[in-house]
Chains A and B, each alone.
Chain A
Amino acid sequence: MIVQGQKRKDVWWVTHVLLGLLSIYTLVPLLLLFFNSFKSNNDIVTSPVAPPKVLDFSYLKNAIVQIHFFQAIGVTFIITACSLFLLVIISSLAAWVMVRLKSRFSSILYLSFAAAMLIPFQSLMYPLLNEFNFLGLKNIPGLIIMYCGFGMSMSVFLYHGFIKSVPQSLEEAATIDGANIFQMFFRVVFPLLKGTTVTVVILNGMWIWNDYLLPFLVIGNSDGVKTLTLELYFAKLISGQYGNPWELIFPAVLVTILPILITYVFLQKYIIAGVANGAVKG
Chain B
Amino acid sequence: MNMYNKKRMIPLALPALVLFLGVVVIPFAIGVVYSFTSWRGSYFAGGDHFWQSFVGIENYIKAFHTKKFIDSLVYTVKFTVVAVLVITFFSLFVSLLASRLKRGIASFYRTIFFLPNLLGGLALGYIWQFIFEIVYSKILFGPQGLISLPALCNMTQNNTKALFALVLLFTWQMVGYMMIIFTIGLNNIPSEMVEAARIDGASNGQVFLHITLPMLMPSFTIVLFLTLSKCFMLLDQNIALTDGNFGTRLLATQILRTTRDSAPPDYGLAQAQAVIFFILIAVVALIQVSITTKREVEI
A pairs with B: yes
- The residues of A with any CB-CB pair to B shorter than 8 Å are 11-12, 15-16, 18-19, 22-23, 25-27, 29-30, 32-33, 36, 44-45, 48-49, 90-91, 93-94, 96-98, 100-101, 103, 109, 112-113, 116, 118-128, 130-131, 145-146, 148-150, 152-153, 156, 171-172, 175, 181, 185, 206, 209-213, 229, 232-233, 236, 244, 246, 249-250, 253, 256-257, 260-261, 264, 268, 271-272, 275-276, 279-280, 282
Q: A22 and B8: CB pair below 8 A?
A: no
| Cβ–Cβ < 8 Å partners of B194 in chain A | none
A23-B109, A113-B20 known; A175 vs B12 contact (CB < 8 Å): no
A125 to chain B, nearest CB (A): 8
Please report which residues of chain B, range 176-209, place their CB below 8 angstroms from some CB of chain A when the two chains form the complex.
176-177, 180-181, 183-184
Bound state CA distance, A80 and B105, in angstroms? 33
**Looking at the complex, which one of A11, A49, A96 makes contact with B135 (CB distance below 8 Å)?**
A49
Query: How far, in angstroms, from A193 to B184 measured CA to CA in the complex?
Result: 21
Segment among B63-71, B77-85, B95-103, B159-167 that sits at the interface with chain A = B95-103
Interface segment out of the listed B53-61, B113-121, B291-299: B113-121
Residues of B within 8 A of A (CB-CB), count: 89
Please tell me if the beta carbons of B23 and A109 are within 8 angstroms of each other in the complex: no
Instruction: Tell yes or no: B235 within 8 A of A by CB.
Output: yes
Instruction: Determine the distance from Cα of A156 to Cα of B15 in the docked complex, in whole angstroms.
Output: 12
Give CA–CA (A6, B129) in the complex, Å. Answer: 44
Complex Cα distance A206/B30, Å?
A: 29
Q: Are the CB atoms of A276 and B123 closer together than 8 Å?
A: no
Contacts of B28 in A (CB 8 A): 119, 123-124, 127
CA distance A131 to B24 in the complex (A): 11
Interface of B with A (CB < 8 Å)?
A: 3-6, 8-10, 12-13, 15-17, 19-20, 22-28, 30-31, 34, 41, 94, 97-98, 100-101, 107, 109-124, 126-131, 133-135, 138-139, 172, 176-177, 180-181, 183-184, 222, 225-226, 229, 232-233, 235-236, 239, 251-252, 255-256, 259, 267, 270-271, 274-275, 277-278, 281-282, 285
Minimum-distance CB pairs A-B, first 7 = A149-B23, A210-B120, A94-B16, A128-B27, A123-B274, A127-B30, A124-B27
- CB–CB B23/A145 < 8 A: yes
Closest to A237 in B: B243
Residues of A within 8 A of B177 (CB): 275
